Chain A
Amino acid sequence: MSSVQHSPDAALTLGTARDAHRIRPALWYTAALALLALLLPFLEGVPVIGWLASPFQRIQLTYGLVFSIAALAFNLLLGYTGLLSFGHAAFFGGAAYAAGLLVKYLHVYSMEGFLLAGLTSALVLAAVFGSVCVRYTRIFFSILTLALSQVLWALALKFFWITNGTDGLSIPTPTLLWGLVGTSGDKVRFLSFTYYYYVLVIFFVCVAVMGVIAASPFGKALQAIRDNEVRAQFVGIGVRRYRWYAFVISGAFTGVAGALFAPLNGLTTPDILHWTFSGKIVFMTVLGGFKSFIGPILGGIAYNYLETYVIKTTEYWQMLLGIILVALVLVMPRGIVGVFAWGSRREQRNR
């Protein structure tokens, strides 16, 4: 036995040192895209890009960015820690409901209030759920997250006098920046311009912070746990505790996404607490590529277009998602990112 058994996944590595060579072009692309996103509202007249710059499309993109944050957060667990959660709807929906309840009971109409409430509720939920779930790994972890999040969903349905049951809670347009930006004016204009920028900035912050976390010693420790739990233990890492940290961080970021989603959608219904929504987060991440950092970001945005243009046109969207997911796993396990990587490899060969 002289050769090592390589798993087929060994080639799909996340953040190895070799990526350093590729960082420069990646940075350029990112900067260019960021600039485009920043200028987007002013490009309505430009040919090609113009249609993407319309108010409707900007609102679409805002949805995409929110989903991207959720998928990015989710992937800290799946891609980096090796834990597949089917319960992230709890943090997303929990945060959105926190915003809704803030409006209903405390009459707070401040976006920062929503964010604070969403973040706090997601943190508390993740800390509690996490303390239970990280005792298990693999399928047990998955089922446990699924079961716990379904408890929340069932509660949201049952306590309808608080949550309005299936009708959900409506979320009016909030003030931004502690009241500096008021609520007056046209709603479409608000969502497609002011709120678009608001979400974009938070999105950038989230991506930057998550990027640092992923490349920090802590992030490396998570990847070590993912790769080899026993060895992680034998270099002295407290495996369960680190999984819990990862769970809480992941939940908190998902909560930010949920809070941002609330005023965008204007309504929070039990749908976003249901396991099928957790499944959508899983789907976005796999669609973009869970073996890379930017995969989930692309996945979130791409998913939203898929939802708008395909899923909403059929009653049987779940089947559609399922078919795509199966196809992804079987023939395109690296998702959208894998397609790009494949393209650039061909490019290099042709040169």
Chain B
Amino acid sequence: MDVLLAQLLNSLLYAAVLFLIAGGLSLIYGVMRIVNLAHGSLFALGAYVMAWGVSRVAGASGAEPAYLIVLLPVAAAAVGATGAVVEPLFLRPLYARAEEYQLLLTFGLLLILEDAMRYVWGATPLTVSPLWASFGSLHVLGATYPRYNVVVILLGLAAAILLWAFVFKTRFGVMLRATSQNRRMAAALGINVSAVYVQAFALGCVMAGLAGAVIVPIQGAVLGMGVDALILAFVVVVIGGLGSLEGALVGALIVGLVRTIAIQYFPELELAVLYLIAAVVLITRPAGLLGRA
């Protein structure tokens, strides 16, 4: 019973993080019709910035680690700022060109980012588990569960609600949706499409960065985490439909659950199992679920 509950919470935790990554990917695609292969690396960037920031601040001030959770938005914003630079500089020249160029370019960005992180933070993983540990544990229904993990789940939930409200209830959301439906029409209506593109891209990056920042106290920042995340984020958006935020939420829940089960039963082959899930989901998924791709 308690194991089952912990597993369920683990799936939710994983789903929350996946939703943030995949939701960002999907948002960017929905608005700009660009698939960003470097998205996973931006997630990793969030993780590294957070880990680095925590160790810096903790080292300098000796602050109680639990308070350092305030660094989460800082790390996310740093990744968002990166996105705000990348979009006008690299992506904008490519909108009129064939999709393979976008793929090639974002692949180039992926290579650059992966190595940039290795250059700055080295090849050894960064961990900030004291932050995670400082939150202590929760006792529910006879089970013990890390309190920080619950915070992440709630954060994921809050992000989903906020995002939904943002896209469907604000003025910017209206512009976002108008641009995604018809770029030329939006421009004719006086919407500054270029500005919307930068903002949408940056927002997608913020989500990825936040995902990286929240996960790092739990599992650390490792090289290669970006590509793993990219593949899983794709599974998520393919299940839910690329370009749809609700879809990203549903997809994240499914993948989170399946992954938890898979790791429970085949821990030896965690890596292969992750990728196999990706393949199996893509194969068995009926074509009708492709969303707005």
| A contacts, CB < 8 Å to B | 7-9, 78, 82, 84, 86, 132, 135-136, 138-140, 142-144, 146-148, 150-151, 154-155, 157-158, 275, 279, 282, 286, 316-319, 321-326, 328-330, 333
**Among B112, B272, B275, B282, contact of A136 (Cβ-Cβ < 8 Å):** B282
- B111–A318 contact, CB under 8 A? yes
- Measured between beta carbons, the chain B residues less than 8 angstroms from A286 are 104
- Measured between beta carbons, the chain A residues less than 8 angstroms from B114 are 318-319
- A9–B108 contact, CB under 8 A? no
3 closest residue pairs by CB, A with B: A322-B111, A319-B115, A325-B108
- B107–A147 contact, CB under 8 A? no
CB distance from B114 to the nearest CB of A (A): 6
Q: Is B227 engaged at the interface, CB distance under 8 Å to the other chain?
A: yes
Q: How many residues of B contact A (CB 8 A)?
A: 43
Query: CA–CA, A122 to B277, complex, Å?
Result: 23
- Measured between beta carbons, the chain A residues less than 8 angstroms from B278 are 143-144, 147
Which of the listed residues B93, B100, B234, B272 has the most CB atoms from chain A within 10 Å of its own CB?
B100
Q: Which of chain B's residues has its CB closest to A319's CB?
A: B115
- B103–A84 contact, CB under 8 A? yes
- B90–A154 contact, CB under 8 A? no
Take A84-B103, A132-B283, A150-B231 as given contacts and tell me if A158 and B108 are in contact as well, using a CB distance cutoff of 8 Å: no
- B104–A282 contact, CB under 8 A? yes
Take A144-B279, A148-B279, A151-B279 as given contacts and tell me if A326 and B108 are in contact as well, using a CB distance cutoff of 8 Å: yes
Query: CA–CA, A147 to B236, complex, Å?
Result: 14
- Measured between beta carbons, the chain A residues less than 8 angstroms from B98 are 7, 9
- B111–A140 contact, CB under 8 A? no
**Among B115, B275, B287, contact of A154 (Cβ-Cβ < 8 Å):** B275
- Measured between beta carbons, the chain B residues less than 8 angstroms from A139 are 35, 37, 99, 103, 234
Query: CA–CA, A22 to B73, complex, Å?
Result: 59
Query: CA–CA, A140 to B235, complex, Å?
Result: 9
Per-residue CB contact flags for chain B residues 226-259 toward chain A (1 = under 8 Å, else 0) read 0100110010001000000000000000000000
Q: Which of chain B's residues has its CB closest to A290's CB?
A: B100
Per-residue CB contact flags for chain B residues 27-46 toward chain A (1 = under 8 Å, else 0) read 00000000101000000000
- B275–A151 contact, CB under 8 A? yes
Q: Which of B99-135 contact A (CB under 8 A)?
A: 99-101, 103-105, 107-116, 118-119
- Measured between beta carbons, the chain A residues less than 8 angstroms from B279 are 132, 144, 147-148, 151
Take A150-B275, A316-B118 as given contacts and tell me if A9 and B97 are in contact as well, using a CB distance cutoff of 8 Å: yes
Q: Is B94 engaged at the interface, CB distance under 8 Å to the other chain?
A: yes
- A147–B231 contact, CB under 8 A? yes
- A325–B104 contact, CB under 8 A? yes
Q: Is B154 engaged at the interface, CB distance under 8 Å to the other chain?
A: no
**Among A78, A138, A322, contact of B108 (Cβ-Cβ < 8 Å):** A322
- Measured between beta carbons, the chain B residues less than 8 angstroms from A325 are 104-105, 107-108, 111
Which of the listed residues A84, A151, A286 has the most CB atoms from chain B within 10 Å of its own CB?
A151
Query: CA–CA, A282 to B293, complex, Å?
Result: 24
Query: CA–CA, A138 to B37, complex, Å?
Result: 12
In the complex, 28 of the A-B residue pairs with CB atoms within 8 angstroms, ordered by the A residue number, are: A7-B98, A8-B97, A84-B103, A136-B282, A138-B99, A139-B35, A140-B293, A142-B37, A142-B103, A143-B278, A146-B227, A147-B279, A147-B282, A148-B275, A148-B279, A151-B276, A151-B279, A154-B269, A154-B271, A158-B269, A275-B227, A279-B111, A319-B116, A322-B112, A325-B104, A325-B108, A326-B105, A326-B112
- B104–A329 contact, CB under 8 A? yes
Q: Is B3 engaged at the interface, CB distance under 8 Å to the other chain?
A: no
Query: CA–CA, A41 to B271, complex, Å?
Result: 46
**Among A78, A147, A319, contact of B112 (Cβ-Cβ < 8 Å):** A319
Q: Is B195 engaged at the interface, CB distance under 8 Å to the other chain?
A: no
Query: CA–CA, A54 to B6, complex, Å?
Result: 65
Take A282-B104, A282-B107, A319-B111 as given contacts and tell me if A329 and B282 are in contact as well, using a CB distance cutoff of 8 Å: no
Q: Is B268 engaged at the interface, CB distance under 8 Å to the other chain?
A: yes
- A326–B293 contact, CB under 8 A? no
**Among A9, A138, A151, contact of B272 (Cβ-Cβ < 8 Å):** A151
Query: CA–CA, A325 to B113, complex, Å?
Result: 13
Query: CA–CA, A147 to B276, complex, Å?
Result: 8
CB distance from B49 to the nearest CB of A (A): 18
Q: Which of chain B's residues has its CB closest to A330's CB?
A: B93
- Measured between beta carbons, the chain B residues less than 8 angstroms from A317 are 115
- B272–A84 contact, CB under 8 A? no
- A84–B93 contact, CB under 8 A? no
- Measured between beta carbons, the chain B residues less than 8 angstroms from A136 are 282
**Among B96, B109, B275, B276, contact of A7 (Cβ-Cβ < 8 Å):** B96
- B272–A140 contact, CB under 8 A? no
- A78–B100 contact, CB under 8 A? yes
- Measured between beta carbons, the chain A residues less than 8 angstroms from B272 are 151, 154-155, 158
Query: CA–CA, A43 to B109, complex, Å?
Result: 42
Q: Which of chain A's residues has its CB closest to B112's CB?
A: A322
- A279–B97 contact, CB under 8 A? no
CB distance from B120 to the nearest CB of A (A): 11
CB distance from A153 to the nearest CB of B (A): 9
CB distance from B289 to the nearest CB of A (A): 12
Query: CA–CA, A316 to B123, complex, Å?
Result: 12
CB distance from B269 to the nearest CB of A (A): 6
Q: Which of chain B's residues has its CB closest to A327's CB?
A: B108
- Measured between beta carbons, the chain B residues less than 8 angstroms from A321 are 108, 111
- Measured between beta carbons, the chain A residues less than 8 angstroms from B115 are 316-319, 322
- B110–A322 contact, CB under 8 A? yes
Q: Which of B69-101 contact A (CB under 8 A)?
A: 90, 93-94, 96-101
CB distance from B40 to the nearest CB of A (A): 11
Q: Which of chain B's residues has its CB closest to A331's CB?
A: B93
- B103–A326 contact, CB under 8 A? no
- B275–A147 contact, CB under 8 A? yes
- Measured between beta carbons, the chain B residues less than 8 angstroms from A132 are 279, 282-283
Q: Which of chain A's residues has its CB closest to B277's CB?
A: A147
CB distance from A143 to the nearest CB of B (A): 5
